[in-house]
Amino acid sequence: MDCQEIVIHLTEYSRGQLPFEEFKEVKEHLETCNKCKTENEKLENLSLTLDKIIPSVNKYFEKKIILDIFVKTENESTITKFIVVSLIISFFILIFSYFFDYKSYNYPTLKKLQETAEKLF
Amino acid sequence: MTIKKEQQIELNLVKASIKGNRRALEKLIRKYINFCYSISLVLTGNKKLALLATKKTLNEIYNSISYISKANIFKIWLYNTLKNNIQKIQEKNYNSFKIENKIFFDDIDKTLAIQENLFQELMHLPKEQREIIALVDFEGLDCEEVADILDEPVLDIRTKLYNAKIALYNKFFLEKERIL
């Protein structure tokens, strides 16, 4: 590898992400080339500073997000399930009432009910 | 713990989540909160927008993880979902979200103005370069993983990363030396 190829591998080199063969090659090159060594120092210095500014969600938001996802979504899904079940039930009631013939059904008259009651008691 | 072992654990977590294991899913979501947040923050420069995009993306993990066909494409799927969400939120609220002048980090010493300045300098880089720096330096991914996520050749990623870092170094350290 020449200097141009070496410098593009430097970030992975300093993070230990290079395969062994390439790592060895870069290491040997850095021992002999001052220009690349300086570049490597620059990048390492920058990486160290970048490590300090890694953004992270604070604990409060982390908890809030987890709660929102697991509790709210679960509640929402329970409500959705309830709505779906109610809709299915009302659909069946509607179908049943459509086919049910109210006119031909003999409703018991008051007199008949009284007679039945008298028979019973 | 070696990188491969860590990747295997993560893969198992994704597989279990796809199968419907709730505990695994919670662990996975906790693991990716900071990933989503830091990438969103670097891409948008706005804390509120970053939180919104993070929440929306994590919600999508909860709702749609069972539709992922293979566990090893999870990271790519997540990254694309996150980017889509950022774009959607930005389009919806084009005027209300702008790059903030100050990004306050909750977990580091706020008096360290140097870090604040470095973040500001980072935000001045082109979006493409910011994206690669965030994935490599903030999330610790190697160039091959970044190439998979961004669907670009590894060599291009390495070159872009090097150019981005040198540009940032020159902007930040050389500028600081000039002022001092």
DSSP string over B146-174 = HHHHHT--HHHHHHHHHHHHHHHHIIIII
ipTM greater than 0.85: no
Q: How many residues does chain A have?
A: 121
- The pLDDT score that the predictor gives to residue B103 is 53
**Statement to judge: residues B26 and B77 lie in one domain:** yes
* Cβ distance of A58 and B107 shorter than 8 Å: yes
**Statement to judge: residues B22 and B83 lie in one domain:** yes
On the question of pLDDT at A14 being above 90, the answer is no
* Cβ distance of B115 and A69 shorter than 8 Å: no
- The pLDDT score that the predictor gives to residue A53 is 81
Span B25-74, pLDDT tens digits: 888 888 889 889 989 988 888 888 888 899 899 988 888 888 888 777 88
- The pLDDT score that the predictor gives to residue B97 is 58
Residues A8 and B147: their CA atoms lie apart, in Å, by 14
Residues B120 and B40: their CA atoms lie apart, in Å, by 15
**Statement to judge: residues B81 and B19 lie in one domain:** yes
And the tokens for B48?
Answer: 């509120």
Rounded to an integer, the average pLDDT of A1-29 is: 86
Left if phi > 0, otherwise alpha if psi is -120 to 50, otherwise beta: which for B151? Answer: left
Domain-ending residue, one of B98, B115, B147: B98
- The pLDDT score that the predictor gives to residue B3 is 58
And the tokens for A42?
Answer: 């620059």
State the residue range of the domain holding B118.
101-180
Chain B contact set for A50 (CB, 8 A): 118, 133, 137-138
A15-19 contacts, C-beta under 8 A, 24 or more apart? A15/A47, A15/B140, A15/B142, A17/B3, A17/B142, A17/B143
Closest Cα partner for B99 from B137, B39, B49?
B49
Residues B57 and B35: their CA atoms lie apart, in Å, by 11
Chain B contact set for A73 (CB, 8 A): 59, 62-63
* Cβ distance of A46 and B114 shorter than 8 Å: no
Domain-ending residue, one of B98, B119, B140: B98
**Statement to judge: residues B93 and B20 lie in one domain:** yes
- The pLDDT score that the predictor gives to residue A88 is 94
* Cβ distance of B143 and A7 shorter than 8 Å: no
| Residue labelled with tokens 């930040």 | B172
Span B142-155, pLDDT tens digits: 888 899 889 899 99
- B128: CATH: 1.10.10.10
Largest Cα–Cα distance of chain B, in whole Å?
A: 58
- The pLDDT score that the predictor gives to residue B153 is 92
**Statement to judge: residues B74 and B108 lie in one domain:** no
Boundaries of every domain in chain A: 3-52, 57-102
Cβ of A4 under 8 Å from any chain B Cβ?
A: no
- The pLDDT score that the predictor gives to residue B180 is 54
**Statement to judge: residues B82 and B105 lie in one domain:** no
**Statement to judge: residues B94 and B31 lie in one domain:** yes
Domain-ending residue, one of B54, B77, B98: B98
- The pLDDT score that the predictor gives to residue B99 is 57
Whole-number CA gyration radius for chain A: 40
Least confident of A30-34, B86-90, B92-96: B92-96
**Statement to judge: residues B83 and B105 lie in one domain:** no
Span B112-165, pLDDT tens digits: 666 777 888 888 889 889 999 999 888 888 888 899 889 899 999 999 999 999
- The runs of H, that is alpha helices, within chain A are 3-8, 10-14, 20-32, 34-52, 59-67, 73-99, 110-120
Structural domains in chain B (count): 2
- Specify the DSSP class assigned to residue A72: I
Least confident of A36-40, A46-50, B170-174: B170-174
**Statement to judge: residues B84 and B130 lie in one domain:** no
Which amino acid, A103?
K
Chain B contact set for A22 (CB, 8 A): none
On the question of pLDDT at B107 being above 80, the answer is no
